[in-house]
Structure 1
Amino acid sequence: MSKKPSIPKGTRDFSPSEVVKRQYIMNTIKECFTTYGFQPIETPSFENSETLMGKYGEEGDRLIFKILNSGDYLNSKKKFISDELYQERNSNEIAKIISEKALRYDLTVPFARYVVQHQNDIVFPFKRYQMQPVWRADNPQKGRFREFYQCDADVVGSKSLWQEVELVQLYDAVFTQLGLKGTTIKMNNRKILSGIAEVIGEADKLIDFTVALDKLDKIGEEKVKEEMCSKGISDAAIEKVQPLFEASGTASDKLGMLKGLLATSEIGLEGITDLEFIVNSVDDLGLGSTSLEIDVTLARGLNYYTGAIFEVAAPEGVKMGSIGGGGRYDDLTGIFGLKDVSGVGISFGLDRIYLVLEELGLFPDTVSATTKVLFLNFGEQEGMYAMKAIKALRAEGVSAELYPDAAKFKKQMTYADRRGIPFVVLAGDKEIEAETYTLKNMGTGEQESLGLDQLSEALQ
């Protein structure tokens, strides 16, 4: 017997109804991107390994899918791998020899590579959006997959904080159009985190500190402290950051706490000033369906962030990880040789947004992959009569189709019912003679005889 087919863990097939709903979300996001002046680009699904490795921190690097080179690596005549290296079983060094390419982990690092390669053709500041799949060798769970789409918007070539203000508004515009009320845009600043590491005497452990802090909502306060201890951060230093775990109240309250904690840190105070400008500007402009909140424990584990960082939480009561995130990166292109090009960007988590809209029943009834009207097939002459009407309806933008076979009436009606097609048209000898069409509403069972123009009006 043949083996039952399957797909890799962490990937999915999408049915027609699912694809249409996903396209509805993507079209909404794309429309907002365009309205805000962002231009589309696309990059390859895989990059040279050296482009990606070392850009996401140690944990991120482990999640990068590597692509094997072609060739027989153990062939002693070709000597891809030396006997010494083979005996050492050094997987990291061997990987560099047998894999020179990798599937992209996100869209930001490939975008930085794109900017450097095309710098002479780009008009700065450059506002780009990109909507493509990415891959991560993660542990699959609800809302977390190994293959998923990211929908990114970035601006490079400007250090102005108005860009952060606009990106907050962009988040709000998308979620407002999707009818997703109650989302929370959480914001912090990596300068503040750097300042905290400085004042507690652990500046050299900034990455370990932020990676642990970023897990607070997943593993809780005690586990975060345990991880910090395991990374060599002293008990005294951890005690000094206790105000972070206890922070509450308004944005003003949290900023006041941070000013006290970071009074001796120049970079920390700079981060506070940045946050104040963004919060005050957004307050003056107003938001529709979202709220902006300062989260003093928000860290985001990616190493390339240098300023404001964002994370979007689903409405309260929906159990889901973040549905968006991003931040400021002042020198991401520097890793590819182009210095002093500041950038800031955000990403929408398409797959998680889909799950949230589905759970809350927020997809409009008009979002459907279903044909609007099916013409029943009673034979060759009747089929041609139907096809002429179908051609005219399609020209008017009405989705219409002919049942391909002159099958039994019951079979054709069952097909329409199972497909969820709302209308069927009967066109037999009587209709041909009268130059009419009998339109049947599958929901109510009502029927009416209409001319072609009337039929088009009824189906618009």
Structure 2
Amino acid sequence: MAQKPSIPKGTRDFNPEQVAKRNYIFNTIRGAFESFGFQPIETPSFENSDTLMGKYGDEGDRLIFKILNSGDFYRSLRMDDAVTLHGLEKFYNYLDKSLNNDSGTFEDSIDYELKVGYENNEDYYRKIKDYIINIKEIDFSISLPLNDDFKNKSRKIILLRCARLFILDSKTHISKISEKALRYDLTVPFARYVVQHQNEIEFPFKRYQIQPVWRADRPQKGRFREFFQCDADVVGSKSLWQEVEFIQLYDSVFSALKLEGVTIKINNRKILSGIAEVIGASDKLIDFTVALDKLDKIGEEKVKEEMRSKGISEDGISRLQPLFTLSGSFESQIESLKDILNSSEEGKKGIEELSFINAAITELGLSTAKLQFDVTLARGLNYYTGAIFEVSAPEQVKMGSIGGGGRYDDLTGIFGMKDVSGVGISFGLDRIYLVLEELGLFPETVTKNVEVLFINFGDKEALFSLKAIKQLRAQGVNAELYPDAAKMKKQMNHANKRNIPFVVLVGDQEIESNTYTLKNMISGEQDKVSLEALVNLIK
């Protein structure tokens, strides 16, 4: 029986028109990167796991695609490991035979099923049994190889997942299962690149990178498991003029794409740290900012509830009250923050940095984008140390962020290279594509493909046509010969279906007179022309 073709959820095929539109975005962004002095690099699709893990927070770590080690490695594991894959395999195989013994308590079932699965290893049996009985939280997002009949046996599914969690609980075992992972973003691999190649790099180093990344996320509109990022970073400079240039770079790209009304939101990690300090929650910075970041989604009261649940005091929450009503211009919001942060040196420094950036942008001006301060913006706090950026599409389009970035003063430090400051931004290609598509902003010329098709009447005519095609291509005209001497109607239909605007017919008369019959597929007009005239008419 033939296998039904399919692709994994969260991935996509792209037809010629879509690829052409994506290339239009790529080329626009690449052109802006190079005009601002950035140089291209590329890094591998997968990195060592320890390069990526722990750099994105707990949520980010869960979304990293791990790559299983190849080979029959598990049979060489020591017996004192938490559980061998060989033992787990026996357990899976046993449960998969689907016992009909559904009587007794849940613990009885555990005894019955696990003991058979581990009949030759009482120690493993006891360890897994204790783990299953004592476990308080089961991660039901873990996928398992279950057949259709087995999916409905909830008791066995729970046992399988508990056993799976028991396995994953052993860091030693995980390292032997997977030592590599698909890259989650381009920033951390870039930091690794800088450290590894530091003796070859001239600092400050301005690089751009356009490559795919992977995240084990739940697919939805504008969110995929495989997608491209377009990043630009500068390392080796603490100058705030880099932040100013990145705002100009965003404005340049979106203006070139005719995407007007984009909002570049900005905040500063130092401001968030200062607020946490003022309310006595410096040790709960992440909890505080994660809750604050939800203000526009769940509202003030729900945010306060979440903060209380994280141990933030009522006094601290009351001091935050001005933040919940913060509005107005960039300058007015900054002025309001000065009163809140007057006792925090860190917070004052953040205000100074944002004021500098805003003053410079006000003086320089933006073409189509607008700069907006957003005190709730808290992305990337595990490595951002200064400015934080997030770009929103025009209001008429419901879409998540289409870009983001920030300053990271110590990112390379995790790879042993201290005191190297960096700042960077990223463009979300796939979301930008969806926005341009929804707003009808792709130019008609983007999907321009073959401009002229030569009809094939036989080998003699085909050879004569290919001489002309060679000349046309040298002049920058996209031309091709229909490969088979098929019926003329079929070849004409082929040109129509591919929206090719011109066809050329070459027969005995044309070969004798060294001319070409050019037909306009839109108007229906056709004329005999010389090769020179043919080139001029099509170009």
TM over 0.5: yes
Residue 436 of structure 1 deviates from its aligned partner by 1.6
Q: What is the DSSP-based 3-state SS (H/G/I as helix, E as strand, rest coil) of the residue aligned with 1:47?
A: strand
- Measured in 2, the distance between the counterparts of 1:80 and 1:18 equals 51
What count of residue pairs does the alignment treat as equivalent?
458
1:32-74 Cα offsets, whole Å, 9 max, x none, are 1111111111111111111111111111111111111123354
Q: Which residue of 2 aligns with 1:289?
A: 368
1:338-365 Cα offsets, whole Å, 9 max, x none, are 1110000000001011111111111111
- Measured in 1, the distance between the counterparts of 2:516 and 2:52 equals 61
Q: Which residue of 2 aligns with 1:303?
A: 382
Matches within 5 A, 1:220-369: 220-368=299-447
Q: Which residue of 1 aligns with 2:41?
A: 41
AA matched with 2:247? V
Identify unmatched segments of 5+ residues in structure 2.
Answer: 85-123, 128-165
Residue 81 of structure 1 deviates from its aligned partner by 6.9
Picking from 491, 505, 516, the partner of 1:426 is 505
Residue 410 of structure 1 deviates from its aligned partner by 1.0
Q: Which residue of 2 aligns with 1:452?
A: 531
Q: Which residue of 1 aligns with 2:250?
A: 171
Contact in 2 for aligned 1:211/1:301 (Cα 8 Å): no
Contact in 2 for aligned 1:214/1:299 (Cα 8 Å): yes
AA matched with 1:289? T
Pair 186,106 (structure 1): closer, same or farther in 2 beyond 3 Å: same
Residue 136 of structure 1 deviates from its aligned partner by 0.6
Is 1:394 paired with 2:470? no
Q: Which residue of 2 aligns with 1:17?
A: 17
Q: What is the DSSP-based 3-state SS (H/G/I as helix, E as strand, rest coil) of the residue aligned with 1:84?
A: coil
Q: Which residue of 1 aligns with 2:92?
A: none
Residue 3 of structure 1 deviates from its aligned partner by 2.5
Q: What is the DSSP-based 3-state SS (H/G/I as helix, E as strand, rest coil) of the residue aligned with 1:100?
A: strand
AA matched with 2:467? K
- Worse-matched range after superposition: 426-435 or 83-92: 83-92
AA matched with 1:60? G
Picking from 82, 98, 105, the partner of 1:84 is 82
AA matched with 1:7? I
- Measured in 2, the distance between the counterparts of 1:436 and 1:215 equals 70
Q: What is the DSSP-based 3-state SS (H/G/I as helix, E as strand, rest coil) of the residue aligned with 1:152?
A: strand
Residue 85 of structure 1 deviates from its aligned partner by 4.3
Bigger-Rg structure (1/2): 2
Matches within 5 A, 1:95-174: 95-174=174-253
AA matched with 2:363? D
AA matched with 1:72? D
AA matched with 1:456? V
AA matched with 1:91? L
Q: What is the DSSP-based 3-state SS (H/G/I as helix, E as strand, rest coil) of the residue aligned with 1:366?
A: helix
Matches within 5 A, 1:178-197: 178-197=257-276
Q: Which residue of 2 aligns with 1:70?
A: 70
- Worse-matched range after superposition: 204-213 or 393-402: 204-213
- Measured in 2, the distance between the counterparts of 1:228 and 1:71 equals 48
Residue 31 of structure 1 deviates from its aligned partner by 0.7
Q: RMSD in angstroms over aligned alpha carbons?
A: 1.5
Contact in 2 for aligned 1:73/1:80 (Cα 8 Å): no
Contact in 2 for aligned 1:245/1:297 (Cα 8 Å): no
- Worse-matched range after superposition: 376-385 or 326-335: 376-385
Q: Which residue of 1 aligns with 2:488?
A: 409
- Worse-matched range after superposition: 235-244 or 175-184: 235-244
Residue 231 of structure 1 deviates from its aligned partner by 2.3
Contact in 1 for aligned 2:269/2:381 (Cα 8 Å): no
Picking from 371, 375, 382, the partner of 2:461 is 382
- Measured in 2, the distance between the counterparts of 1:80 and 1:287 equals 63
Q: Which residue of 1 aligns with 2:94?
A: none
Q: What is the DSSP-based 3-state SS (H/G/I as helix, E as strand, rest coil) of the residue aligned with 1:420?
A: coil
Contact in 1 for aligned 2:184/2:213 (Cα 8 Å): yes
- Measured in 1, the distance between the counterparts of 2:31 and 2:192 equals 26
Pair 82,46 (structure 1): closer, same or farther in 2 beyond 3 Å: farther
1:223-248 Cα offsets, whole Å, 9 max, x none, are 43343333222343233223223211
- Measured in 1, the distance between the counterparts of 2:308 and 2:370 equals 34
Residue 213 of structure 1 deviates from its aligned partner by 2.5
Contact in 1 for aligned 2:517/2:527 (Cα 8 Å): yes
Pair 375,224 (structure 1): closer, same or farther in 2 beyond 3 Å: farther
Residue 90 of structure 1 deviates from its aligned partner by 4.2
Residue 431 of structure 1 deviates from its aligned partner by 2.0
Q: What is the DSSP-based 3-state SS (H/G/I as helix, E as strand, rest coil) of the residue aligned with 2:446?
A: coil
1:183-226 Cα offsets, whole Å, 9 max, x none, are 01000101000001010111000011222333344444444334
Q: What is the DSSP-based 3-state SS (H/G/I as helix, E as strand, rest coil) of the residue aligned with 1:188?
A: strand
Picking from 275, 284, 297, the partner of 1:205 is 284
Residue 454 of structure 1 deviates from its aligned partner by 0.7
Residue 369 of structure 1 deviates from its aligned partner by 5.2
Pair 376,335 (structure 1): closer, same or farther in 2 beyond 3 Å: same
Q: Which residue of 1 aligns with 2:116?
A: none
Q: What is the DSSP-based 3-state SS (H/G/I as helix, E as strand, rest coil) of the residue aligned with 1:133?
A: strand
Contact in 2 for aligned 1:10/1:145 (Cα 8 Å): yes
Residue 298 of structure 1 deviates from its aligned partner by 0.9
- Measured in 2, the distance between the counterparts of 1:9 and 1:410 equals 40
Counting aligned pairs with the same residue, the percent is 70
- Measured in 1, the distance between the counterparts of 2:79 and 2:229 equals 37
AA matched with 1:261? I
Identify unmatched segments of 5+ residues in structure 1.
Answer: none
- Worse-matched range after superposition: 436-445 or 173-182: 436-445
AA matched with 2:18? E
Residue 2 of structure 1 deviates from its aligned partner by 1.9
